[in-house]
Chain A
Amino acid sequence: MPEKIDFSKVSFLIVDSNPLSSQLVRDILSVLGATAVRSANSVERACAILRRDPVDIIITEYHLEPENGLVLIDWVRSSSESSDRMIPIIMLTANSEQDYVVNARDKGVTEFLAKPFNVEGLYRRLVAVIAKPRSFVNADEYFGPDRRRRQVPFGGTDRRGSDG
């Protein structure tokens, strides 16, 4: 029997300053059966919601004012006030050029989806963060999902395993 996702068990926070865009994502989640969906139009409001009542998944725009979506990712991943540093974060944004993708990835975004988007793309990312969670990396200058997507076999000596 194939696995299913019961979205009614998952809570969401949508962060987008464009009410139409935010409503569209909310409506899509509603069709999927999600009932616990909150919205914020700024990083400040998003952080206030997360402090009060954590969620399972954040879907955020990059372009927010006065602070952008990277500030939110940074807060979730690094702030002592963050209740869950490992919340999956999907960035859904029209800022889709390579620099933005790299910046978001390096701040610890879990999935990135460019606007304009299609429903299949969004669904795939929801499935990925719920059913196929990734390892996290805690390093000096990075805390976030493991950025290595591909597991490439390595035939050389394991120098890490033998260093002191």
Chain B
Amino acid sequence: MARRAQIIPPRSDLKRKAVNLTTGFDLRLTPELIKQLEDVVHKSRDGFTKDIGERLAAMRQLLAETGPEPEAQNVLVTSLYESSLAIKGAGGTIGYDLLTLIGKSLNDFVTGLKSLDDRQRPVVGLHIDALYVVLANRITGRGGVVEKAIVDAFVEARRKFRPDGSDGGSGDQQRDA
């Protein structure tokens, strides 16, 4: 028989240690602190863009050179998954929201795949090209009408060329757990 759930009251040791009335930062962010923290993110931008550029080069090379052998295909898809996830996570953090959108699209496309067939390979290639264009032209934000049309086209490509007809992932959750 299931036992009754025990509720353990909130622990206050961390609060006692760190929360006070004199030193540190207000619980509510001040504009000055936001600026300071955003400067930190801004400074990291060069490192992230270099990393994304290197990932795109590696993905493009791997896509071109990988043969049909299952093991090689598995390495390819794993690499595409990892890099697209990293681009999805980093893009918007440093102001490149469009990189996140296209990175997510690529990540959704390869999620759950073990290999790429002849129809899926060009779709991946187009994602990589699009990511390159965004990075090379330093298109920050979500872009305009053309960029939206491209992202919509990738959604359609996912529907059409994934074996299960699904769009891979579902909507992102920005809410609390």
A interface with B by C-beta (< 8 Å): 1-10, 18, 20-21, 23-24, 27-28, 31-33, 56-57, 63, 86, 88, 91, 93-101, 104-105, 109-112, 114-121, 123-124, 127, 129-131, 133-140, 142, 146-147, 149, 160
Count of chain B residues with Cβ under 8 Å from any Cβ of A? 60
Q: A24-B44, A98-B170, A137-B7 are in contact. Are A93 and B89 (CB under 8 A)?
A: yes
Q: Do residues A120 and B14 form an inter-chain contact, with CB atoms below 8 A?
A: no
Contact residue among A10, A18, A31, A112 (Cβ-Cβ distance under 8 Å from B86): A18
| B61 touches A (CB below 8 Å) | no
Q: Does B5 contact A (CB under 8 A)?
A: yes
Q: Do residues A96 and B24 form an inter-chain contact, with CB atoms below 8 A?
A: no
17 contacts between A and B (CB under 8 A): A6-B18, A10-B14, A20-B51, A32-B25, A32-B37, A56-B14, A56-B17, A63-B82, A86-B11, A95-B85, A97-B173, A109-B177, A114-B174, A116-B88, A116-B92, A131-B27, A134-B10
B21 close to A (CB within 8 Å):
yes
- CB proximity of A30 to chain B, nearest CB, Å: 8
Chain A residue with Cβ nearest B84: A94
| Inter-chain residue pair count (beta carbon < 8 A) | 185
Asked if B137 CB lies within 8 Å of chain A CBs, one says no
Any chain A CB within 8 A of the CB of B149? no
- Chain A residues whose CB sits within 8 angstroms of the CB of B89 once the complex forms: 18, 21, 93-94, 115-116
B2 to A, closest residue via Cβ: A140
CB-CB < 8 A to B93: which residues of A? 24, 115-118
Chain B residues with CB under 8 Å of A94's CB are 85-86, 88-89, 107
When each residue 1-25 of chain B gets 1 if its CB lies under 8 Å from chain A and 0 otherwise, what string results? 0111111111110110111111111
A102–B89 Cα distance when bound, in Å, is 19
User: Is A7 within 8 A of B170, CB to CB?
Assistant: no
Q: A20-B90, A115-B88, A119-B34 are in contact. Are A135 and B8 (CB under 8 A)?
A: yes
**B177 and A112 contact, CB distance less than 8 A:** yes
B12 to chain A: which residues have CB within 8 Å?
133
Whether B171 pairs with A97 at a CB distance below 8 angstroms is: yes
- Chain B 63-89 interface residues, beta-carbon cutoff 8 Å to A: 82, 85-86, 88-89
B176 in contact with A111 (CB, 8 Å): yes
Interface of chain B residues 129 through 170 with chain A (CB within 8 A) = 169-170
User: Are B173 and A9 in contact, with the CB atoms below 8 A?
Assistant: no
Closest to B173 in A: A101
Chain B residue numbers with a CB within 8 Å of A149 are: 176
